Structure 1
Amino acid sequence: MLFAHDTECSLIAVAALVNTAGQGDEGLPDVEALSAFFTAHAYTGRHEHTETELRAVRALRPRLRRIWYADVDEIVSIVNGLLREHRALPQLITHDDEPYHLHAVPRDAPLATRMAVEAAMAIADVVRGGELRRLRTCEYPDCDNVLVDLSKNRSRRFCEAGCGNRAAVNAYRARKAAARS
């Protein structure tokens, strides 16, 4: 394991959240979609199921997306800004039969606040570990999704939206066409 379990989970959730604002359809079109995202990424604590909460989560996405394109100094500025803005105070806690892990805001803080702080804490670990090269963009043409490469050999190139399969199919078809020529 490269990072602590909670850090890896947060990194995956951050990339998924950023990708909900990618090309095409809105990935968080309504409160129900946010609830599904909340469940899929095992968030705990307060969840209001309101349009206000949905707007706050959507508003966080551009700031988090910037992390994938910024240099280390700008990333640190974003992370520190999020932590300062939300008055993060890291503490070890345990809940829901989970082992001790870090929370930096109360579990009853607004969802967007918890998402922002968990993202900032996870990215802080990436910066501290000198592993920013693990934050990548999908290599498939015309895909603007982001990804976190948690593979041992740092070889992940494509996002979770099926781009790896599309690239493999395209390569296969190109080989077949070249063989026929």
Structure 2
Amino acid sequence: MIFTDDTEDALRAAVWLVNSAEDPDTLVTLEDEERFLTAYPYTGRIYRDAAELEELRALRPRLRAMLLAPRDEMVAQVNAALAESTLMPQLRRHDGLDWHLHAVADDRPLAERVLIETTMALIDVIRADEGGRISVCADDGCHALALDLSRNRSKRYCSTTCANRNAVAAYRARRSARH
């Protein structure tokens, strides 16, 4: 494990949200939001309505910029996000998770909680100088983010689809070069 479980979970959720903006957009309906919340459960107030969905959709460009920023710029963006929110840090244990930090109250809007949880995760990324674990997919036609939590830093693609497409292309190129 590179980071604590809650940090890795927050990073995965943020990357999922950012990547949902890729073509085709996969965060369009309330059912899409429900799929996100099932995969990445958040505690606290959740309305599951159109306004909340739009707030999550509007958050995606900001998360992308934060996740891909060089370290010093990431610090500036993290500090800006922290300054915008009313922080109420508390240790919590719930849903089978051990003690972890909730930085804002459960009654804050979901998009704000996602932003601050991502911000808190990025604090760990910054402190460990591990920003290189978040990158744009190595597939030339893909702009999604790849989150590399592997020990050997080998993940280059956002998904197995992109990885397989590139492996097949490399195989075909090697095969053509031999003939």
What is the TM-score with the length of structure 1 in the denominator?
A: 0.93
Deviation by residue 1:21-57 (Cα, 9 ceiling, x = unmatched): 12x2212011110111011112222211111001111
Residue correspondences, number? 179
Change (3 A) 1:88 1:147: farther
Task: Find the aligned partners of 1:72 and 1:130 in 2 and give their Cα distance.
Answer: 8
Task: Find the aligned partners of 2:59 and 2:93 in 1 and give their Cα distance.
Answer: 26
Corresponding position: 1:156 with 2:132:
no
Aligned to 1:165: 164
Aligned to 2:95: 96
Aligned to 1:143: 142
Deviation by residue 1:53-105 (Cα, 9 ceiling, x = unmatched): 01111111111111244222221111111122122232211122321111011
Say whether the 8 Å CA contact 1:18–1:146 is kept in structure 2.
yes
Aligned to 2:15: 15
- In structure 1, runs of 5+ residues without a counterpart are none
Say whether the 8 Å CA contact 1:68–1:137 is kept in structure 2.
no
SS at match of 1:25: coil
Task: Find the aligned partners of 1:50 and 1:102 in 2 and give their Cα distance.
Answer: 27
Say whether the 8 Å CA contact 2:91–2:101 is kept in structure 1.
yes
SS at match of 2:119: helix
User: CA shift at 1:161, angstroms?
Assistant: 5.7
SS at match of 1:151: coil
SS at match of 1:54: helix
User: CA shift at 1:110, angstroms?
Assistant: 1.4
Give the aligned residue type for 2:6.
Answer: D
SS at match of 2:146: strand
Say whether the 8 Å CA contact 2:52–2:110 is kept in structure 1.
yes
Aligned to 1:40: 39
Aligned to 1:105: 104
Query: Any runs of at least 4 consecutive aligned residues in structure 1 with deviations exceeding 6 A, and if so which?
Result: none
What is the TM-score with the length of structure 2 in the denominator?
A: 0.94
Choose 120-129 or 75-84, whichever is displaced more: 75-84
Say whether the 8 Å CA contact 1:18–1:61 is kept in structure 2.
yes
